[in-house]
Amino acid sequence: MSERHADEILLAFARALRAAGVPVTHDRAQGFLAAAAVLGVGDQRATYLAGRATLCAGPDDLERYDQVFHAFFNARDGLPRSRPAHPAAPFAGLPLEETTGTGESQDEEVLRALASETEVLRQRDVASLSAAEKHRLAGMFATLRPRPPVRRTARHHAWRRGEVDASRTLRASLRRMGEPAEIAWRRRGVRPRRVVLLVDVSGSMSGYADALLRLAHRFTQVGRESGGVVETFTVGTRLTHLTRAMRVRDPERALVAAGETVPDWSGGTRLGETLRIFLDRWGQRGLARGAVVVVFSDGWERGDPTLLGEQMARLRRVAHRVVWVNPHRGKDGYEPVQQGVVAALPHCDDFVAGHSLATFAELAEVVSRA
């Protein structure tokens, strides 16, 4: 096998890996070639290890890498695909037609009607909206400005009063050739606190999934502007890390990216189980530590509610504040009687409604004050 020929095969493999959803960049591919050359091409195990070290960046990648490697070098069929053939994305059916509100209505009170309609739309349950109304509501999400909550940091800033800043005082006196100078003061700074959003995308929540992801997108974008970090996960039958998709600036493209990432739209709910995985793999290690964690779910739990209660208790011990958002909470005659909610409620700091834009704005307020 000539060197050149081998490189072509390796690059083709890198391309296949990229097609399977591992973010392989050009420089990573070059690193792969270099590593394979160091270990000597022709040895399959060595090539495998070279690729693992240079092309992967996390445990999720490793799993995909193994599959693609096996498929590419051993059997040339059944490459895993990054996107399931038809993701049942709940927002796929949005109409693209221009809906300025009243359509063909020739009423002269169009403008007034439009204004009040906006207000009505703010209060309406998002699950009950028609496609056209949803489309208009999507534009209104831009009015939400969820300010991130803040925490005190270990680092200090210069300030007029507070505690004595010894090193700055010394530095100032140094500038005066050692003459004692004015005393400098400092205080602790503030930084945005991390916000973690856990969005239930099971069947019973499917009417809200689109709106909740738009909300998560707003949280992420506004948070980024002020230097904060917002992490988004979907929970359902499995846990999916969605932060990367939510960081796409354009909301429509972000939602499409989310649709391609999440494999379990409108599936069942095993909230306790997925929450445990979240805490094991991410939360306890630090992602949820000191963070404001917001759980969006109706609490219809198919699994064991005691497990859910246990995991919520765990979550609360790790997080700074736990907020449970239930779309049914704001409706008339709602009683928190679902097993999941009953199990989780004692471990939540806040239990708020989340079914309309107005309630989302209230939620943003709750989070930023946390």
Partner 1 sequence: MLLSSPADVAARLGATGYLSDDALATVTYLALRMQRPLLLEGEPGTGKTALAEAIAESLELPLVRLQCYEGIDATQALYDWDFPRQILHLRALEAAGGGQDGQGVEEAEKSLYDARFLLARPVLRALQESPAVLLVDEVDRADDEFEAFLLEVLSTYQVSIPELGTVRASTPPIVVLTSNRTRELHDALKRRCLYHWIDHPGLEREVEILRSRAPEVSETLRRQVVELVQLLRGRDDLQKPPGVAETLDWARALHHLGTADIDLATASVTLGALVKYREDADRVRHALDQVLRA
Instruction: Give the interface with partner 1 as residue ranges (CB under 8 A).
Output: 23, 25, 27-28, 31, 34-35, 38-39, 45-46, 49-50, 52-54, 56-59, 62, 153-155, 167, 170-171, 173-174, 177-178, 229, 243, 279-282, 284-287, 289, 314
Considering the complex, what minimum distance in angstroms separates the CB of residue 256 from partner 1? 21
Please give the C-alpha separations between residue 170 and each of 118, 173, 187, 353, in angstroms, as whole numbers.
60, 5, 17, 54
- Cβ-based nearer residue to partner 1, 23 or 139: 23
**E-strand spans in 44-132?**
none
Considering the complex, what minimum distance in angstroms separates the CB of residue 60 from partner 1? 10
Considering the complex, what minimum distance in angstroms separates the CB of residue 176 from partner 1? 10
* DSSP symbols for 250-267: SHHHHHHHHHHH-S-TTB
Look at the chain and count its residues. Answer: 370
- Cβ-based nearer residue to partner 1, 155 or 161: 155
Considering the complex, what minimum distance in angstroms separates the CB of residue 68 from partner 1? 16
Residue 81 per-residue DSSP state: -
Query: Exposed, middle or buried, 52 (CB in 10 Å: 0-12/13-18/19+)?
Result: middle
- Within 10 A of 3 (CB to CB), how many other CB atoms are there? 9
Considering the complex, what minimum distance in angstroms separates the CB of residue 24 from partner 1? 10
CA distance 183 to 158: 11
Considering the complex, what minimum distance in angstroms separates the CB of residue 102 from partner 1? 46
CA distance 224 to 211: 20
Q: Nearest to residue 193, comparing CAs of 141, 165, 158, 152?
A: 152
Considering the complex, what minimum distance in angstroms separates the CB of residue 174 from partner 1? 6
* DSSP symbols for 3-69: HHHHHHHHHHHHHHHHHTT----HHHHHHHHHHHHHH-TT-HHHHHHHHHHHH--SHHHHHHHHHHH
Contact between residue 275 and residue 287 where contact means Cβ atoms under 8 Å apart: no
- Cβ-based nearer residue to partner 1, 105 or 226: 226
- Cβ-based nearer residue to partner 1, 132 or 229: 229
